[in-house]
């Protein structure tokens, strides 16, 4: 097959969370089998912003997007992580 893009929506615990620091911590926990493609901010409501994290992983390696989701969910300051889309490149 090939590579797959994994798009996740990461919600911070509150509007007080420094998104730049949260972004740095997310970059650190991306598993070795995946490559970070982009992290973008997305306004939600009332000053709250989500981070949209897109990673690229090989779909033959025996790994799953759930492993990336779990790693990001453990970052301090992260309220929730939802895999929005997985697609072949």
CATH number, domain with residue 77 = 3.30.70.60
Distance of CA 62 to the CA centre of its chain: 19
Low-confidence stretches of the chain (pLDDT beneath 50): none
Q: Number of structural domains, the chain?
A: 1
At residue 1, the pLDDT reads 63
For the whole prediction, is pTM greater than 0.85? yes
At residue 72, the pLDDT reads 98
Average pLDDT, the chain: 94
Residues above pLDDT 70, as percent of the chain? 99
Domain that holds residue 66: 3-88
Sheet holding 3-12, edge to edge: 34-45, 48-58, 3-12, 78-88
At residue 73, the pLDDT reads 97
At residue 38, the pLDDT reads 98
Q: Which phi and psi angles does 52 have, rounded to 5°?
A: -100, 115
């Amino acid at each position: 097959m090939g590579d797959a893009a994994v798009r996740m929506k990461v919600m911070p615990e509150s509007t007080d969370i420094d998104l730049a620091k949260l972004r740095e911590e997310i970059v650190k926990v991306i598993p070795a089998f995946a490559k970070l493609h982009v992290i973008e901010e997305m306004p939600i409501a009332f000053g709250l912003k989500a981070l949209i994290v897109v990673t690229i992983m090989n779909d033959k390696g025996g790994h799953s997007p759930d492993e990336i989701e779990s790693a990001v969910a453990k970052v301090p300051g992260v309220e929730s992580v939802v895999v929005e889309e997985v697609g072949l490149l």
